[in-house]
A and B are shown apart, each in its own frame.
Chain A
Amino acid sequence: MKVSIYRYNPETDREPYMKEYEVDTGGKDLMVLDVLNLVKEQDDSMGYRRSCREGVCGSDGMNINGKNGLACITPLSATAPGVLEGKKALILRPLPGLPVIRDLVVDMTMFYNQYEKVQPYLQNNTPVPAIERLQSPEDREKIDGLYECILCACCSTSCPSFWWNPDKFLGPAALLQSYRFLADSRDQATDERLGKLDDPFSLFRCRGIMNCVSVCPKGLNPTRAIGHIREMLLERAV
Chain B
Amino acid sequence: MVTSVTSLGRNGLSDWLVQRVSAVLLAIYTLVVLGWLIAQGEVTYEAWSGFMGCLVMQIANTFMIVAVGAHAWVGLWTVTTDYLTNRQIGAAGTVVRLIAQLVIALLTLVYVLWGLVIIWGGA
B2–A168 CB distance below 8 A = yes
Give A55-71 as 1s and 0s: 1 = Cβ < 8 Å from B's Cβ atoms: 00000000000000000
A234–B13 CB distance below 8 A = yes
Give B1-24 as 1s and 0s: 1 = Cβ < 8 Å from A's Cβ atoms: 111100100111101110000000
Among A161, A195, A199, the residue within 8 A (CB) of B82 is A161
A165–B12 CB distance below 8 A = no
CB distance from B107 to the nearest CB of A (A): 21
Which secondary structure dominates chain A's binding surface? loop
Among A160, A198, A200, the residue within 8 A (CB) of B4 is A200
Complex CA distance for A165 and B84, rounded to whole angstroms: 11
- B81, closest chain A residue (CB): A165
Residues of A within 8 A of B3 (CB): 199
CB distance from A235 to the nearest CB of B (A): 11
**Given A200-B4, A202-B2, A164-B12 contact (CB < 8 Å):** no
- A131 within 8 Å of B by Cβ? no
Among B12, B81, B87, the residue within 8 A (CB) of A203 is B12
- A30 within 8 Å of B by Cβ? no
Residues of B within 8 A of A164 (CB): 82-83, 85, 87-88
- A19 within 8 Å of B by Cβ? no
Give A139-172 as 1s and 0s: 1 = Cβ < 8 Å from B's Cβ atoms: 0000000000000000000001100110010000
Residues of A within 8 A of B17 (CB): 234
Residues of B within 8 A of A160 (CB): 82
